[in-house]
């Protein structure tokens, strides 16, 4: 994996800290379970918009943007409530994925 991708994830920690500050200052304290359920609800709304597109129905692009933003915000709130440093977690996961991808490539398989 290219180093720039890993370095870019460092800024995710800063974004996550800003979300935590915003949540703490302006909204009631919620449990990690609440935020986990919120992620699923918001992801469901995004999936419903995609399903409409898949069926050939008209969906405004800003609706997709709004729903994707809701999923991201819910994820930020969840990771903060569970004290998960998302940037580091994503880096570690990408390194594992890359290791597996390289191994599979040696056997002619794709990831």
Sorted by where each begins, the domain ranges of the chain are 3-106
Residues 6+ apart with CB under 8 A from 6: 91, 94, 95
CB 39 within 8 A of CB 78: yes
* CATH superfamily assigned to domain 3-106: MazG-like (1.10.287.1080)
Tokens in use for 103?
């191994």
Per-residue pLDDT of the chain (111 residues; tens, 9 = 90+): 566 566 777 788 899 999 999 999 999 999 999 999 999 999 999 999 999 999 999 999 999 999 999 999 999 999 999 999 999 999 899 889 999 999 999 999 988
Distance between CA atoms of 54 and 49, rounded to whole angstroms? 9
What pTM value is reported for the model? 0.86
């Amino acid at each position: 994996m290219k180093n720039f991708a890993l370095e870019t994830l460092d800024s995710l920690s800063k974004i996550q800290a800003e979300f935590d500050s915003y949540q703490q200052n302006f909204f009631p304290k919620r449990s990690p379970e609440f935020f986990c359920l919120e992620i699923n609800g918001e992801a469901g709304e995004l999936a419903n918009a995609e399903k409409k597109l898949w069926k050939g129905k008209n969906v405004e692009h800003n609706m997709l943007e709004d729903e994707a933003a809701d999923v991201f915000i819910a994820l930020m709130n969840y990771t903060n409530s569970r004290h998960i440093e998302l940037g580091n977690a994503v880096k570690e996961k990408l390194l594992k994925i890359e290791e597996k991808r390289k191994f599979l490539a040696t056997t002619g398989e794709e990831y």
